[in-house]
Chain A
Amino acid sequence: MIANTLPKSLIDNPRLDRWLDFSVPGRAGIRVGKVEIGQGIATALAQIAAEELDVGLDQIDLTAGDTDCAPDEGMTTGSLSIEVGGASLRLVCAEARAIALAAAAARLNCGPQDLSIDAGAIAQNGKPSGQDYWTLRLDLARDATGSAPPKPASAYRVVGQNVARRDLPAKIFGGGFVHDLVRPGMRHGHVVHAPRIGMAIAGLDLAAIQRAAGGRVEIIRHGMMLALIADSPTDLRRAAFAADTAIGWNGLPPLTADQQEAAWLPTQPSRHGAHGDANQPPPGTRITATYSRPYIAHGSIGPSCAVAEFRDGRLTVWCHAQGVFPLQAVLAGGLKLNPAQISVRHLHGSGCYGHNGADDAAFDAAAIACLRPGTPIRVQWRREDEFGHEPVGPAMLVRQDGVLGPDGALRDLTTDIWSAPHSGRGGAGNALTARTQPNPCPPSPVAETSVPYPGAGTRNAIPNYAIPAMRYRHHLVPSPPVRTSALRGLGAMPNIFALECFLDECADAAGQDPLAYRLAMQPDPRARDVLTTVAEMANWSARGPAGTGEGLGLAFGRYKNTSGYAAIAVRVSVDTEIRLLEIWCAADAGLAINPDGVIAQLEGGIIQGASWTLKEQVLLDEAGIASRNWDRYPILRFSEIPPITCRLMHRPNDPSLGMGEATIAPIGAAIGNAASHALGARLRDLPLTRAKIIQAVT
């Protein structure tokens, strides 16, 4: 059974009619706050609604992310859309169904137990009753109680089935994105962003910008903002490129080469937090190792885009933000408007993987639109804007210091984590263009704490293993050289990379097999299941000796220690580069709403995480981010993708676990362990490039 307690989204939005209506005959109007960001959530939520209402999936009209009509579910982050959003929607729909049955029973003078629903029509003892959701005129203007029991998993007919993504056909046939929205009279806008926050325009050649656009660009100065508007995107882009070189910036010292490396972090002032065992480590065999990940980019294939319109005192913004209500608040604060004046509507964008440029592009469009009432303004960031101005994923450095007992088991673990902030949103002052408005809001101070659950830089810092004593120290470096914020998994990837590589190092030191070593310290049967399953898939028992040039490695992670379980095994060959030969994954999602959708998320996390591991690092120059197109920020390509097999544990009676970030963390360590097995030498600093391999073996 699904636990029948009120989840956060429902507590925050108790009114049933905020979530659903039956105002269109034959249709169930469903509204949610969790939005489609490429992960397939719109389809899975529709499955949950169809299941509990007993309507067809094709009768569901889903609106996701709309400040005018949809519930406020905050951000679509943290792999919580099924765990919290889905759990809320399930209770809402179960309650609506119960209300409908009670109303029909009263009308038909029978008991609800005599009634059933199919495709929204109500049958009495199996025969049509003439009643349905639409004839009953249900009063849903009331608060949810959460008291209507949802269906047991054994009764599911839509949930748990592989269902095709509802949004995919439109995208395959050429539409479906906010990028495709055209409003009457729409013009194209661009805000010139400083190479780094805090820089100001020192010199400006307006004529050069005009010349590049053939005189067809409107140049706006407003506060400290410099914006361009044109009728043609071609003219606008030319003016924007001209602006890149026509402006001199000052106000900040040049960056230095060492600042782009994670190793720079411990040299900086930091805020300290600690958690865990207060005692000193016991005596024993000590092993220490330090691991790192540099700054990395979200790297959405489609640069951020939004359309904004200010008309009759109201601002409407169409965008691909992860949270329409949080963005509404940012826009209100940053543009000195009342939130009630602002409608934010989510439309699909390119995959975002966290806090990319979506909110900033939306703010850019809104800021320009407010200066040109009545004219819709479309902003699409250039590739150079996206790479150059998105908040990047924080660099992290993680030092593991372990004590092994006489049996070789890890008795005590001290982890030191140096990290830039993972939460860069935090209010109106944190939008790029908000800082250039007249009377700007001050930037919000870094609010990140060192709490273990769910953590940010400390996410997954606590090993999901039975270690007798562990403690971590979190050293938050609040002023990194470039803006940082949430990227898929937050600290989970660097932390699990460090932990799971370290466990292999401990196993080596103890002369034990890495799988057996993990199993000996793993009491959770679900974790053991995915580990032993992936070992079987990868034929782990036939694993050869180290140092042959070919390696097999594995790693485990349970995202946030509360969400999905994943174990991954990787086979590689290494000469001067790492080549992925095959990847296997076993995962436990609890009840998988759309199993094929879960598998797609597992595959996607594996490939994105492999790309981070093997290739990715944001490069800096004196001004700011220098890796501003794919030639300087390479990612994994088709020719580098090995066969990947993912298997889901069958657990339909356990609550659903978020799976969007389940594989992004363990894949890095699995590759690191496989490559180290192949080399007979340890690789600890991401990305695992040719230079790192040569360094490790010489």
Chain B
Amino acid sequence: MTDPIPLSLSVNGRVVSLTIDPTAPLLDVLRGPLGLSATRYGCGAELCGACLVLVDGVPAYACTREIGTLAGRDITTVEGLGTPDAPHKIQTAMLAVQAGQCGYCLSGMQIAAAALLARNPSPTRSEIAEALDGNLCRCGAHPRILAAVARAAQ
């Protein structure tokens, strides 16, 4: 427990200034004061991937990442990837192949997929599977999520 400190960071391209407990996890800051609900709580222990965000373009677990380590950093959540009017290609592809059942894991899947496509525009099926291997899905939407990433890469 630490006293609140002022800090600024970029979230989805917008500079945000907060006075906040620097040990609070990024996940709580996103879902609470910033009102961004796409980043989801799943396990609190970097084991399921539901809370993935991009920190300077690299996937990171928001459930454990302390906000105090992120001053000046650039955070992208699903809300920053795309919107219904201007979707990211992975979002378009997920809708096209109906890549979701309950949908709870899909935010983390999108982040992992977006990071993969940014560094490898035409991944193989096994490269996609490897990139998503830290993301758990319980409904068994895996074949469609794999297909969505492959489609987004086309």
List chain A positions with a Cβ less than 8 A from chain B: 37-40, 164-165, 167-169, 171-177, 179-180, 182, 211-214, 232-234, 237-238, 299-303, 348-351, 353, 380, 382-384, 596-597, 600-601, 603-608, 629-631, 635-639, 641, 643-644
Determine if B41 and A600 form an interchain contact, defined as CB atoms under 8 angstroms apart. no
* Additional pairs, 6, CB under 8 Å, beyond known A171-B103, A174-B37, A638-B133: A173-B82, A173-B84, A233-B28, A300-B104, A601-B101, A638-B129
Known: A175-B37, A180-B37. A630 touches B103 (CB 8 A): no
Give the chain A neighbours of B37 by CB distance below 8 A.
Answer: 174-175, 177, 179-180
In the complex, A165→B129 CA distance in Å? Answer: 24
Determine if B41 and A302 form an interchain contact, defined as CB atoms under 8 angstroms apart. yes
Determine if A237 and B44 form an interchain contact, defined as CB atoms under 8 angstroms apart. yes
Give the chain A neighbours of B100 by CB distance below 8 A.
Answer: 165, 168, 171-172
Most chain B Cβ neighbours within 10 Å, of A303, A349, A604, A607: A604
18 contacts between A and B (CB under 8 A): A38-B139, A40-B101, A171-B100, A172-B78, A173-B78, A174-B36, A177-B37, A211-B1, A238-B1, A301-B138, A302-B40, A349-B102, A349-B104, A351-B102, A603-B140, A630-B47, A630-B136, A643-B143
Give the chain B neighbours of A380 by CB distance below 8 A.
Answer: 41
In the complex, A299→B104 CA distance in Å? Answer: 12
Of all A-B residue pairs in the complex, the 5 with the closest CB atoms, nearest first, are A174-B38, A38-B102, A607-B140, A171-B103, A604-B140
Q: Which of B54-62, B68-76, B105-113 contacts A (4 or more CB under 8 A)?
A: B105-113
Known: A174-B36, A606-B140, A635-B138. A301 touches B102 (CB 8 A): yes
Contact of B40 among A179, A604, A605, A635 (CB under 8 A): A179
Query: Among residues 101 to 154 in chain B, which have CB atoms less than 8 Å away from a CB atom of chain A?
Result: 101-107, 110, 126, 128-130, 132-133, 135-146
Determine if A169 and B140 form an interchain contact, defined as CB atoms under 8 angstroms apart. no
B 22-55 binary contact with A (CB < 8 Å = 1; else 0): 0011001001100111101111110110100000
In the complex, A287→B41 CA distance in Å? Answer: 50
In the complex, A351→B141 CA distance in Å? Answer: 11
Most chain B Cβ neighbours within 10 Å, of A165, A234, A608: A234
Give the chain B neighbours of A168 by CB distance below 8 A.
Answer: 94-95, 98, 100, 103
In the complex, A368→B146 CA distance in Å? Answer: 42
In the complex, A171→B37 CA distance in Å? Answer: 10
Determine if B1 and A212 form an interchain contact, defined as CB atoms under 8 angstroms apart. yes
Return the chain A residue nearest B49 by Cβ: A301
Give the chain B neighbours of A167 by CB distance below 8 A.
Answer: 103
Determine if A302 and B136 form an interchain contact, defined as CB atoms under 8 angstroms apart. no
Give the chain A neighbours of B141 by CB distance below 8 A.
Answer: 600, 603-604
Give the chain B neighbours of A635 by CB distance below 8 A.
Answer: 136, 138
In the complex, A345→B148 CA distance in Å? Answer: 33
Determine if B43 and A350 form an interchain contact, defined as CB atoms under 8 angstroms apart. no
Chain A: minimal CB distance from B33 (Å): 10
What's the count of A-B pairs with C-beta under 8 Å? 174
Return the chain B residue nearest A175 by Cβ: B37
Contact of A641 among B78, B107, B146 (CB under 8 A): B146
Give the chain B neighbours of A40 by CB distance below 8 A.
Answer: 101
Contact of B32 among A39, A164, A233, A637 (CB under 8 A): A233
Give the chain B neighbours of A603 by CB distance below 8 A.
Answer: 140-141, 143-144
Known: A167-B103, A174-B78. A607 touches B136 (CB 8 A): no
Give the chain B neighbours of A601 by CB distance below 8 A.
Answer: 101
Contact of A629 among B47, B101, B138 (CB under 8 A): B47
List chain B positions with a Cβ less than 8 A from chain A: 1, 21, 24-25, 28, 31-32, 35-38, 40-45, 47-48, 50, 77-79, 82-84, 87, 91, 94-95, 98, 100-107, 110, 126, 128-130, 132-133, 135-146
Chain B: minimal CB distance from A593 (Å): 15
In the complex, A382→B44 CA distance in Å? Answer: 8
In the complex, A630→B44 CA distance in Å? Answer: 10
Determine if B140 and A38 form an interchain contact, defined as CB atoms under 8 angstroms apart. no
Known: A175-B37, A212-B1, A639-B133. A232 touches B32 (CB 8 A): yes
In the complex, A169→B92 CA distance in Å? Answer: 10
Chain A: minimal CB distance from B111 (Å): 11
In the complex, A382→B47 CA distance in Å? Answer: 13
In the complex, A596→B99 CA distance in Å? Answer: 11
Give the chain A neighbours of B103 by CB distance below 8 A.
Answer: 38, 167-168, 171-172, 176-177, 348
Determine if B95 and A351 form an interchain contact, defined as CB atoms under 8 angstroms apart. no
In the complex, A601→B102 CA distance in Å? Answer: 11
Return the chain B residue nearest A164 by Cβ: B98
Determine if A351 and B41 form an interchain contact, defined as CB atoms under 8 angstroms apart. no
In the complex, A448→B132 CA distance in Å? Answer: 41
Return the chain A residue nearest B33 by Cβ: A232
Chain A: minimal CB distance from B26 (Å): 11
In the complex, A347→B141 CA distance in Å? Answer: 21
Known: A167-B103, A351-B104. A607 touches B142 (CB 8 A): yes
Give the chain B neighbours of A177 by CB distance below 8 A.
Answer: 37, 40, 103-104
Determine if B102 and A350 form an interchain contact, defined as CB atoms under 8 angstroms apart. yes
Chain A: minimal CB distance from B93 (Å): 10
In the complex, A463→B41 CA distance in Å? Answer: 42
Give the chain A neighbours of B106 by CB distance below 8 A.
Answer: 171-172
Determine if B95 and A172 form an interchain contact, defined as CB atoms under 8 angstroms apart. yes
In the complex, A629→B47 CA distance in Å? Answer: 8
Determine if A631 and B47 form an interchain contact, defined as CB atoms under 8 angstroms apart. yes
Determine if B140 and A608 form an interchain contact, defined as CB atoms under 8 angstroms apart. yes
Chain A: minimal CB distance from B20 (Å): 10
Determine if B94 and A172 form an interchain contact, defined as CB atoms under 8 angstroms apart. yes
Give the chain B neighbours of A638 by CB distance below 8 A.
Answer: 128-130, 132-133, 135, 142, 145-146
In the complex, A104→B100 CA distance in Å? Answer: 42
Give the chain A neighbours of B1 by CB distance below 8 A.
Answer: 211-214, 238
Return the chain B residue nearest A300 by Cβ: B138
Chain A: minimal CB distance from B74 (Å): 18
Determine if B98 and A637 form an interchain contact, defined as CB atoms under 8 angstroms apart. no
Give the chain A neighbours of B83 by CB distance below 8 A.
Answer: 173
Most chain B Cβ neighbours within 10 Å, of A238, A348, A635, A641: A641
In the complex, A19→B139 CA distance in Å? Answer: 29
Determine if A234 and B25 form an interchain contact, defined as CB atoms under 8 angstroms apart. yes
In the complex, A38→B102 CA distance in Å? Answer: 4
In the complex, A615→B109 CA distance in Å? Answer: 22
Give the chain A neighbours of B145 by CB distance below 8 A.
Answer: 638
Chain B: minimal CB distance from A640 (Å): 8
Give the chain A neighbours of B43 by CB distance below 8 A.
Answer: 383, 629-630
Give the chain A neighbours of B35 by CB distance below 8 A.
Answer: 182
Known: A301-B42, A600-B141, A630-B47. A165 touches B98 (CB 8 A): yes
Chain B: minimal CB distance from A548 (Å): 24
Chain B: minimal CB distance from A596 (Å): 6
Determine if A179 and B36 form an interchain contact, defined as CB atoms under 8 angstroms apart. no
Determine if B101 and A637 form an interchain contact, defined as CB atoms under 8 angstroms apart. no
Chain A: minimal CB distance from B80 (Å): 10
Determine if B101 and A600 form an interchain contact, defined as CB atoms under 8 angstroms apart. yes
Determine if A173 and B146 form an interchain contact, defined as CB atoms under 8 angstroms apart. no
